[in-house]
């Protein structure tokens, strides 16, 4: 399978960005998933509304079909993996989250807002992942934050969930985000009642705002389609 043709097909079909990563470091000695050492990380510049979710699932299905037809094994992690109950993948996805796959695939870093931030799209990407044993040529991983001195998300978070610490691969998630505070804020105000979390930490981020790239893409091999799909 030609890696670049595979990427190009997914971009042409509507993905905003596609990266390929080695996830060996994240899986370590994981017996159940260790053989699926490559991740296809697919980003769509849109929030996870039902219609965008459908679109992301379609792109993921396309990737799965191509890999299977070429004779490779896959494990598809759905974008809404938190809603999948009782299946094999519901037990496995917390061990290899979409954000881990995306940094390994050179799409972006983890911002102070705890989200995957790409130079071009900022934190506005919704993510899906396919793990595979296909020998894809991988992109260079991103291991460090490019947030610099910015603290906008921390300063504007209405629940004080964002600690303001810089991301490090070895730190657990609560070092960046107190998820309970973020969760409990949901429903407190009319604006977020019954809807997903407020998402202010997305809209405030200068990266990708108004389709503007704050910095060139850190990984020159990770290709992005510079078309937005709403947000």
Residue 211, phi then psi, degrees to nearest 5: 70, 15
* 126 binds ligand B12 per the rule CB under 6 A: yes
Are 111 and 215 in contact, with CB atoms under 8 Å apart? no
Q: Which of 45, 110, 130, 136 binds ligand B12 (CB under 6 A)?
A: 110
Lay out the site mask for ligand SF4 across 113-152 (x = CB under 6 A, - = otherwise).
x---x-----------------------------x--xxx
Residue number with CB closer to ligand SF4 (27 or 177): 177
Q: Cβ contacts of residue 80 below 8 Å, gap of 6+?
A: 48, 53
Q: Which does 79 bind (CB under 5 to 8 A by kind): ligand SF4, ligand B12, none?
A: ligand B12
Q: Which does 159 bind (CB under 5 to 8 A by kind): ligand SF4, ligand B12, none?
A: ligand SF4
* 159 binds ligand SF4 per the rule CB under 6 A: yes
* 92 binds ligand B12 per the rule CB under 6 A: no
What DSSP assignment string belongs to 124-178?
-EEEEEEEE-S-PPPPPP--S---TT--HHHHH-TT--B--PPP-TTS-GGGTB-
Lay out the site mask for ligand B12 across 15-54 (x = CB under 6 A, - = otherwise).
----------xx--------------------xx------
The CA-based diameter of the chain, rounded to the nearest angstrom, is: 50
* 189 binds ligand SF4 per the rule CB under 6 A: no
Are 11 and 223 in contact, with CB atoms under 8 Å apart? yes
């Amino acid at each position: 399978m030609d890696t670049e043709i595979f990427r190009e097909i997914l971009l042409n079909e509507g993905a905003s960005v596609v990266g390929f990563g080695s996830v060996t470091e994240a899986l370590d000695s994981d017996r159940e998933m260790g053989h699926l050492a490559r991740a296809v990380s697919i980003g769509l510049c849109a929030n996870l509304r039902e219609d965008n979710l459908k679109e992301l699932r379609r792109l993921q299905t396309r990737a799965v079909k191509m890999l299977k037809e070429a004779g490779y094994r896959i494990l598809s992690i759905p974008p809404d993996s938190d809603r999948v109950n009782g299946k094999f993948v519901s037990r496995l996805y917390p061990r290899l989250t979409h954000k881990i796959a995306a940094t390994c695939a050179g799409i972006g870093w983890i911002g102070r807002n705890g989200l995957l931030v790409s130079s071009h799209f900022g934190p506005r990407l919704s993510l899906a992942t396919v793990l595979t044993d296909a020998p894809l040529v991988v992109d260079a991983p991103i291991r460090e934050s490019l947030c610099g001195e910015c603290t906008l998300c921390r300063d504007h978070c209405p629940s004080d969930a964002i600690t303001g610490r810089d991301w490090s691969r070895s730190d657990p998630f609560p070092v960046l985000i107190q998820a309970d505070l973020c969760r409990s804020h949901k429903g407190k105000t009319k604006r977020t009642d019954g809807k997903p979390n407020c998402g202010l930490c997305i809209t405030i981020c200068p990266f990708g705002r108004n389709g503007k790239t704050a910095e060139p893409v850190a990984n020159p091999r990770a290709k992005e389609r510079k078309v937005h799909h709403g947000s």
